[in-house]
Amino acid sequence: MSTQERKRRERELRERLFVREAQEFIRREGLLHLQMSRLAEACDYATGTLYQHFASKEDLLLAIATEDLKRRATAFQPIPHLPLSSRERMLAVVLTDIDFISSHPDHFQLLQYVSTEVIWASASPDRRKALAEAGAPICEAVSQVVTTAVATGDLSGIPTLRPVEIAAGSWCLNVGMHSLAHAHGLLEAYAVRDPYALLLQHSQALLNGLGWQPLIDIRDTRNIAEQAQRIRALLRDNMQPVVSERPD
């Protein structure tokens, strides 16, 4: 191995260490308590070394969000190929997102935070680009589901919109409900007991509105729940292995 290659690998390992320890720090003490000096100390490096990898705390936060988003995207890759109708595949997208965010609430909170104007604008273009690229497989999988639906006649399509733009409605419902569900006490104040069951009902109504076949009765909440249970079982059977960045 050449000296240059060895240094490159050492740098990659060091950066993964910083990201991993920062993830643990956020889980342990909260996002707003993360400090560059404390992180460097926890990793047994000088603060200056940390800044050689991340020009700012904003860049570090985007790097953390990027690694989490890569793992999130992995869960969506099998969806376009599942033995389901195109409409059920679209619901698989909704369910996959619900289940990942429910299992990784820190990821959604961080993604919300880094998407705010003050953080996003302060991060470097390279880090913003890396985050966008990490989410691209999700966009590709969802677009493929819509494209298949149009090709098979399940969905008439909207001539002025691309597949990803048609799917944006469902995605916005997801993001909106995640935001409400993560605002502690907000839904409780309005006696919304099961926000994600409500999300599934709204998602079905949206697909009906798009004319996505086969249409279903959105008043039949039992059928909606049973369908979700069946799709979740199939998703579990087809789950892609996720390589952990944490040491054993």
Residue 13 lies in a domain: yes
Which of 115, 105, 170, 160 lies closest to 138, judged by CA? Answer: 170
Mean pLDDT, all residues of the chain: 93
Query: In the predicted model, what is the mean pLDDT of residues 64-76?
Result: 95
- What is the reported pLDDT for 178? 95
CA gap 58, 37 in Å, rounded: 14
Q: Write out pLDDT tens, residues 138-181.
A: 999 999 999 999 999 999 988 899 999 999 999 999 999 999 99
> Are residues 146 and 232 located together in one domain of the fold?
yes
Query: In the predicted model, what is the mean pLDDT of residues 200-217?
Result: 97
- What is the reported pLDDT for 239? 77
Domain holding 26: CATH number? Answer: 1.10.10
Residue 248 lies in a domain: no
Domain count, the chain: 2
> Are residues 44 and 139 located together in one domain of the fold?
no
- What is the reported pLDDT for 243? 45
- What is the reported pLDDT for 240? 63
Residue 67 lies in a domain: no
Listing DSSP states for 43-91 in one string gives TTS-HHHHHHH-SSHHHHHHHHHHHHHHHHHHTTTTGGGSSS-HHHHHH
Query: In the predicted model, what is the mean pLDDT of residues 69-91?
Result: 96
Query: In the predicted model, what is the mean pLDDT of residues 180-186?
Result: 91
Instruction: Compute the C-alpha angle 189/208/193, nearest 5°.
Output: 20
> Are residues 107 and 200 located together in one domain of the fold?
yes
> Are residues 84 and 49 located together in one domain of the fold?
no
Residue 245 lies in a domain: no
The domain in which residue 121 lies consists of 73-237
- Asked if pLDDT for residue 246 goes beyond 50, the answer is no
Q: Write out pLDDT tens, residues 8-62.
A: 899 999 999 999 999 999 989 988 899 999 999 999 999 999 999 999 999 999 9
- What is the reported pLDDT for 32? 87
- What is the reported pLDDT for 241? 57
